[in-house]
Amino acid sequence: MIALCPGYESIGMAAPLVLVVARLIQGFAAGGEFGSASTFLIESSAPSRRGFAGSWQHFAVNAGVLVAASIGSLLTSMIDPVGMASWGWRIAFAIAGMLGFVALWVRLAVAETDAFKRTTQAHRRERNPILVIVGEHRRAALRVIGIAMAGNLCNYLWLVLFPTLAHLRTGLPLHEAFSASVISIVVSLVAIPFIGMLSDRIGRKPVLLAFAGGSALFAWPALHFLTHDFWSATVIATIGMLLSSGFAATCASVMAEQFPVQVRATGVALPYAVSAALFGGTLPYIVTAMSNSRLSQYLWVYVAVVCAIGFVVYARMPETRGKTLD
């Protein structure tokens, strides 16, 4: 829909409306899928390897962004800004649309987990999972929001927003900013599975504490020393992505380990989506508002405060490594 939608000059106000509707459908679907995909990975793995199995959730997320950043880097280096604004941007969405059919084929072919099958057979008339979560698992749901807040903010900052931020703040050419992002994402893809394995050995809490504490301390130097230099930007993005890998590698397992199987997928998806909307989706607006108010140099304060709150949440939550799941 996004790739093929006619422009404003052809269909008027219908054009932005179609784009908004398509983006909402895309966002709701991807947000809802996070919980079910995380749950599927965790329930399909051995208890001693849940961290490693869950790490592939964000590995796939980062790999998808890597494809997007690579396409962005390629297109912006091959097509001039006027061409990109008029038609070049559609190419990326057309490629994503074709990949969507591949993903659909995979989802139709895969079977549900044994844990889910046992539950549906034993609880055919179970209440709505959202009502169960609100009534019986409020503390776990709030904990998931707290677990995800710093991770969503940092992931959005380093994984999604960084090329635009570097380009607008420093004047770094956009194709160089995308290239720096590609390098940082590749490094994170190498790190994430190993950090997931580490969380199976030492626990989820130490890994998450290192992520939140390190990200809080790194916020000022990262955003203060960001300059019009490709290698400087690459180093900053890579360190940010490595720190965020501590969250990426453990979030699926630690969030899924908060809930029983009857409500596990919804228990992860709903509060995670709330956290993503509040702390990830709002970041571009916060950056824009601070820039318009000439306060952009204080963005690091917001990042550091959210990460510090996340650190407190991780320090107070129970360790879930080795927890028996139904």
In a domain, 247, yes or no: yes
- Which domain CATH number covers 206? 1.20.1250.20
Q: How confident is the model at residue 45 (pLDDT cuts 50, 70, 90)?
A: confident
120 found inside a domain: yes
* 162 has a pLDDT exceeding 90: yes
Establish if 262 belongs to a structural domain: yes
Q: If you average pLDDT over residues 101-123, what whole number do you get?
A: 75
pLDDT above 70 (res 115): no
Report whether pLDDT(30) > 60.
yes
8 is written with which tokens? 């404003």
Whole-prediction pTM = 0.83
326, part of any domain: no
In 3-state terms, the chain is what percent helix, strand and coil (to 5)? Answer: 85, 0, 15
Q: Does 89 reside within a domain?
A: yes
Number of domains in the chain: 1
**Selected residue with higher pLDDT from 313 and 32:** 313
Contacts of range 231-235, beta carbons closer than 8 Å, 24 or more positions apart: 233/166, 233/170, 233/172, 233/176, 233/177, 233/180, 234/179, 234/180, 234/183, 234/184
d(C-alpha 141, C-alpha 102), whole Å: 32
For 294-306, write each residue's pLDDT tens digit. 888 899 999 999 9
Q: Which domain range does residue 100 map to?
A: 8-316
Are the CB atoms for 154 and 240 separated by under 8 Å?
A: yes
CA 175 to mean position of chain CA atoms? 22
3 occurs within a structural domain: no
Has residue 322 been placed in a domain?
no
Per-residue pLDDT at 326 exceeds 80: no
Q: Is residue 321 part of a domain?
A: no
Structure tokens at 202: 């030492």
